């Protein structure tokens, strides 16, 4: 939790409400978004400024730090040949994290 807003109250302002069920989405679900889905679901949000490739990079890092599971490893493997080097590099890093945990499903 961010120490700056530890005691913050939830706002009733509609602009601050979670959109597109982002507050309940899983990392795997978010990592599966293609660029049009990313653009549609982040319209009006500051997160859109990072772009789809950096979005995927950030999610790859989060998935690399997540508990190892078959769905997590499979999601990462599906992005292993992504056209953006930034994404590929971080997907490989994430897969290596799961390899180091001893997951034999990671190749």
pTM reported for the whole predicted model: 0.81
Report pLDDT for 107. Answer: 59
Report pLDDT for 19. Answer: 65
Report pLDDT for 6. Answer: 77
CB 57 within 8 A of CB 90: yes
Q: Is the pLDDT of residue 52 over 70?
A: yes
Q: Is the pLDDT of residue 4 over 90?
A: no
Q: What is the tens place of the pLDDT at every residue in 59-96?
A: 999 999 999 999 999 999 999 999 999 999 999 999 99
DSSP class per residue in 11-59: P--GGGS--TTTTT--HHHHHT--HHHHHHHTTTSGGGGGHHHHHHHHH
Report pLDDT for 20. Answer: 60
Report pLDDT for 12. Answer: 80
Three-class DSSP category at 62: helix
CB 89 within 8 A of CB 53: no
């Amino acid at each position: 939790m961010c120490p700056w807003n530890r005691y913050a109250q939830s706002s009733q302002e509609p602009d601050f409400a979670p959109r597109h069920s982002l507050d309940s989405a899983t990392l795997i679900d978010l990592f599966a978004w293609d660029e049009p889905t990313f653009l549609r679901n982040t319209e009006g949000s500051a997160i859109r400024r990072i772009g789809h490739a950096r979005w995927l990079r950030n999610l790859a890092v989060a998935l690399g730090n997540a508990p190892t599971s078959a769905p997590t490893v499979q999601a990462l493997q599906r992005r292993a040949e992504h056209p953006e080097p930034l994404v590929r590099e971080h997907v490989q890093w994430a897969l290596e994290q799961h390899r180091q945990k001893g997951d034999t499903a990671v190749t």
